[in-house]
Amino acid sequence: MVEELTGLPCNWTGVVRLEEDPGFLGAKPFNCDIRFDIRLAGQDARWRTYIHELLHASSAGYSRLAFDEGKGWEEGPVETLQRLLRTEVLDLLSLDIPSQVFEEIETTYPYNPYVSAVENLSSALHLPLREFCTRLLATPILNRKATVLRAGLALPPHDRARFQSVYKAASRILVEDLDKTWKTGRRPGRT
């Protein structure tokens, strides 16, 4: 279903591992299995995590090195696209889950700064958000920053200055490891 909605090939192995108290809700190791906290398995909120992890499996250039170098450039478009596709996926599965189930989680979700940065870049490039995120996932992680910069510098002069300002702010956030940032209490975008 993710392949159909994005047009991107999914490399998921078909293996789901349910784990007790793993320290995360979901994870997609680089071998393309998917791991979930077993406590999530019976909750409606699991769908956001399932979709998120499947999108990682559709991401070009998904490797440890690339992820470590560009965590926000991966997590930002994945989380944004998960939010954009979720209603459509649930409809296709004939699941009626109240949006409040997801809103409660997403109000304070640690990757919200990544989502905002991706939204701002999409707007500055005048691209629909879903198209922008899909293009990013089709671009190898290590090339995403340069690809977005090239696209912005190709804008007409009156749009280019705004783009450069947005790009500078977004890039600062997208290179941070927000998991570490939130644990230390630092605000994203600050050193």
pLDDT tens-digit map of 11-52: 888 888 888 888 878 888 788 888 888 888 889 999 999 999
* C-alpha to C-alpha distance for 6 and 1, rounded to whole angstroms: 9
Q: What pLDDT digit, counting tens, does each position of 63-114 carry?
A: 888 988 889 999 999 999 999 999 999 999 999 999 999 998 899 999 999 9
- If we measure between CA atoms, which residue out of 123, 100, 108, 101 comes closest to residue 170? 123
Cβ neighbours of 169 (radius 10 Å): 15
Cβ neighbours of 130 (radius 10 Å): 16
Q: Model's pTM, two decimal places?
A: 0.88
Amino acid symbol at 179: D
pLDDT above 80 (res 180): no
